[in-house]
Amino acid sequence: MAKDRPNARFHGRIEGDRPCEAPGCDAAGEFRAPPLEGPGRDGPPAFRWFCLDHVRAFNSSYNYFDGMSAEEIHHAQRPMAGWERETRAFARAGGGDHGPRWADFADPLDAIGARYRREVAPERRDGKPLSGQDRASLKVLGLAPDADRMALRKRYSELVRRYHPDRNGGDRSHEGMLQKVIAAYQQLRQAPAFA
């Protein structure tokens, strides 16, 4: 819905039936400013409301450093100001985040639980480690974790023949899978487990 007034998209404008609190101003008070007095007994005092011109005047007269000595101003402007405060540790003893109490959650899609489940990495008989990328590439090629370099080459050749458009009468519908197979092979042939 388009507004009839200029500057309707100006950040901070809150429409309402409040008058501007500047003396002698008839405009609507659409911009809030903090009160001059501190918090009251029953909570924080209400905001003051000004028109655009008077809130700009209010903001330009504000000085954060008013009443501070030169040393206090220098201390407040240091690049590390505020970082010297101690913060509480979030990690528990034993390290890492612990899973939530499952009695408090309904997780039908296993969106939360997947993060905390520790899956045992498949081990190779030769003891060579597999990275997460290695396991993903083996899955693309349909190979077991214990596959050797010869099995890798053989499976790659088989899948390239299966998915290549030249072997499928020019059908390019399997091109995406062919690209995945090539990327997986290139990654695995340089992996330490297949060296």
At 119-137, the pLDDT tens digits run 555 577 787 888 888 889 9
Give the tens place of pLDDT for each residue, 132-173: 888 899 999 999 888 889 999 999 999 988 888 888 788 888
In a domain, 73, yes or no: no
Query: What is the number of structural domains in the chain?
Result: 2
Which pLDDT value is given to residue 61?
A: 85
pLDDT of 171: 80
pLDDT at 6: 53
Q: What is the 3-state secondary structure (H, E, C) of 124-164?
A: CCCCCCCCHHHHHHHHHHCCCCCCCHHHHHHHHHHHHHHHC
Domain ranges, residue 35: 10-65
The pLDDT score that the predictor gives to residue 101 is 66
What pLDDT is attached to residue 115?
65
- The CATH number for 141's domain is 1.10.287.110
Of the residues 44, 65, 86, which one is the last residue of a structural domain? Answer: 65
DSSP letter (8 states) at residue 97:
P
CA 155 to chain centre: 39
